[in-house]
């Protein structure tokens, strides 16, 4: 890491801490004591109000009620931010308008040569969802469902919610404890524990009409909810051993509900255990297609009979 980049990162590291020591700086940045001391002195000379503590380890803290110096982004950090913005375009992400204002502020801070680099990257890089005829860095081309941002704001304060959902021709209300928000294929899925029927439910966020806090008097304790969720988990009916090629495919794409556990320190083998609902044809077909996507670099320990014939058409596997 170059010195300028290290100093920049170190300033942010110090900004985020009320107190730090020389030893912590040495460990964090993998530098010697003399280099750490020189860097801290240079940061002090730039105007950061550090106060030293007496003691063997050389503790420091940032003086309160002081204006900290401006922290600038490196060239690589600017490029990383804008490429991330480009890659997530048309993903129905919340706070998209705020992301636009962030981009505008960053553009105003960087030099003309940095802006030219970003323009060139924007012309050359195409991601899923990019319109090659109008690859505008600040284009707000796919705003999320208007209720998604409202939902985000509410769940930061309270996970006990009453959702009003449009289901075909009917409008229904559900009182839930929000477990997760899934983002898959540019869609948001609400996963919650139904507080009345005491079971897990999922709702497409684009069917959400209204969201309000649930009455505090009728709430179930969070610990009790999580215990009921664990007890209600479906029994595992699919167990696979994955080799390196299958793991590489898994990393490219996998359903949100499916996770793997590595079985060696080099992460070249893994085991996948999950439940597949064979009574839902669409879900079953989608899961079979995903298994075919993984390829044949795997062994099957357990698989529902309803899947075996279809999977065998696509690749040969060895039963264990």
CATH number of the structural domain spanning residue 19: 1.10.10.10
Q: Which two tokens stand for residue 252?
A: 């490219």
Interval 142-170: pLDDT, tens: 667 788 888 988 888 889 999 999 988 89
How many CB atoms are located within 10 Å of the residue 9 CB? 16
| Residue 286, pLDDT score | 87
Interval 50-100: pLDDT, tens: 777 765 555 887 776 555 556 567 788 888 888 888 787 777 788 877 777
Q: Is the pTM of this model over 0.85?
A: no
Q: Is 130 left (phi over 0), alpha (psi -120 to 50) or beta?
A: beta
- Count structural domains, the chain: 4
- 23-37, 38-52, 287-301: which range is least confident on average? 38-52
| Size of the chain, expressed as the number of residues it contains | 320
Range of the domain at 183: 146-231
Do residue 113 and residue 151 come from a single domain?
A: no
**Is residue 296 included in any domain, yes or no?**
yes
Do residue 17 and residue 89 come from a single domain?
A: no
**Is residue 132 included in any domain, yes or no?**
no
**Is residue 117 included in any domain, yes or no?**
yes
The residue out of 197, 231, 265 marking a domain boundary is 231
**Is residue 137 included in any domain, yes or no?**
no
Do residue 247 and residue 295 come from a single domain?
A: yes
Angstrom distance (rounded) from CA 176 to CA 230: 16
Tell me the HSE value of 255 on the side-chain side, using a 13 A CA sphere: 16
Helix axes of 281-294 and 244-252: crossing angle, nearest 10 degrees: 130
């Amino acid at each position: 890491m170059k010195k300028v980049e290290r100093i920049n990162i170190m300033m942010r590291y110090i900004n985020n801490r009320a107190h730090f020591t020389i030893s912590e700086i040495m460990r964090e940045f993998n530098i010697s004591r003399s280099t750490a001391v020189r860097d801290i002195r240079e940061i002090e000379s730039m105007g950061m109000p550090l106060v030293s503590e007496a003691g063997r380890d050389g503790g420091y803290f940032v003086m309160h009620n002081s204006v900290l110096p401006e922290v600038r982004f490196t060239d690589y950090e600017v490029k990383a931010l804008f490429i991330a913005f480009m890659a997530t375009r048309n993903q129905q992400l919340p706070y998209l308008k705020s992301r636009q204002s962030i981009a505008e502020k960053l553009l105003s801070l960087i030099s003309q040569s940095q802006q030219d680099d970003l323009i060139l990257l924007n012309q050359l890089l195409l991601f899923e969802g990019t319109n090659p005829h109008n690859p505008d860095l600040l284009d707000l081309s796919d705003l999320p469902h208007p209720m998604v941002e409202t939902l985000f704001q509410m769940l930061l304060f309270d996970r006990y919610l009453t959702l009003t959902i449009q289901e075909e021709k009917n409008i229904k209300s559900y009182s839930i404890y929000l477990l997760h928000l899934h983002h898959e294929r540019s869609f948001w899925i609400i996963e919650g524990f139904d507080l009345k029927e005491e079971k897990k439910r999922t709702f497409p966020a684009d069917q959400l009409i209204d969201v309000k806090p649930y009455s505090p008097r009728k709430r179930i304790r969070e610990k009790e909810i999580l215990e009921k969720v664990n007890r209600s988990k479906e029994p595992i009916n699919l167990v696979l051993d994955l080799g390196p090629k299958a793991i590489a495919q898994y990393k490219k794409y996998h359903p949100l509900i499916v996770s793997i556990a590595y079985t060696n320190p080099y992460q070249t083998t893994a085991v996948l255990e999950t439940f597949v609902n064979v009574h839902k044809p669409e879900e079953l077909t989608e899961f079979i297609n995903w298994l075919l996507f993984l390829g044949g670099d795997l062994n099957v320990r357990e698989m529902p009979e309803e899947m075996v014939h279809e999977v065998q058409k696509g690749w040969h596997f060895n039963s264990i």
